[in-house]
Amino acid sequence: MARPALTEDEISDFRERLCEVATRRFVEFGDAGVSLRGLALELGCSPTTPYRYFRDKDEILAAVRARAFDRLAHFAAPFAGPDGDPLSQLEALGFAYLRFAREEPHAYRMAFELSQPEASAYPELLQSRQKAWQMIYRAVRRAVVAGALAGDANVVSHLFWAGMHGLAALHLGGQLESLPIEKLQKPMVRALLRGALPSVGPTTGDTPDA
């Protein structure tokens, strides 16, 4: 004899719609656009309505970030597949990663720069990040098991990710003025891959000369 609670679908629908609006407003107005009142204005609801669907604003940001990671994973997926020469595929994946950062800078910034000290408290976010991360890891591991790269796949893939992210972060931070990222991405990918070529030597440097 009472009003029924919200369906699981209704909840996820509202959350999805709010995340889309938040993303668009982030692109248009920056950080200032994702205020609860700003979102409510565009959603046509009260500023406190989202509190029934999210615990607080941090959970909203985590959901938005998770969707940004999802798009990154989706963007990189075609180049992480099991077909083609492993090294060429890995190189293409690096280019795709940086193309995503260039073409969807807002998504990349939301994924990596939205300040969230306690990001590990949101399983959805961790899972989406893991999904994006595995695009890189699988491609690297495939090259390793195929003998095209040497060293620990976990180490090499982390190096690969860090190199790509370093370029993307400096680019998006406007710190690459004298040299555009287009001139740096190929040398970076090549350097990181060459550093793990089996003919050159293992990546876990144990040559005692430091």
Question: What string marks each residue from 53 to 92 as x (binds DNA by CB under 7 A) or -?
Answer: ---xxx----------------------------------
Contact 133, 76 (CB under 8 A): no
Between 8-29 and 105-113, two packed helices, what is the crossing angle to 10 degrees?
110
Helix, strand, coil shares, percent, the chain, to 5:
70, 0, 30
Residue whose token pair is 């970076």:
188
Residue from the set 12, 30, 48, 103 that interacts with DNA by CB under 7 A: 48
Taking the complex as a whole, the smallest distance from the CB of residue 98 to DNA amounts, in Å, to: 31
Question: What string marks each residue from 172 to 191 as x (binds a second copy by CB under 8 A) or -?
Answer: -xxxx-xx---xx-xxx-xx
The span of 21-29, 55-63, 75-83, 200-208 binding a second copy (CB under 8 A) equals: 200-208
Q: Which is nearer to a second copy, 53 or 164 (CB)?
A: 164
The span of 33-41, 81-89, 99-107, 159-167 binding DNA (CB under 7 A) equals: 33-41
User: Does the footprint of a second copy cover residue 55 (CB under 8 A)?
Assistant: no
User: Does the footprint of a second copy cover residue 123 (CB under 8 A)?
Assistant: no
H helices present in 104-205, as ranges: 105-113, 123-145, 153-172, 182-194
Taking the complex as a whole, the smallest distance from the CB of residue 67 to DNA amounts, in Å, to: 18
60-79 per-residue burial string, b: 16 or more CB within 10 A, e: under 16? bbbbbbbbbbbbbbebbeeb
Q: Which is nearer to a second copy, 123 or 173 (CB)?
A: 173
Q: Which amino acid is at 26?
A: F
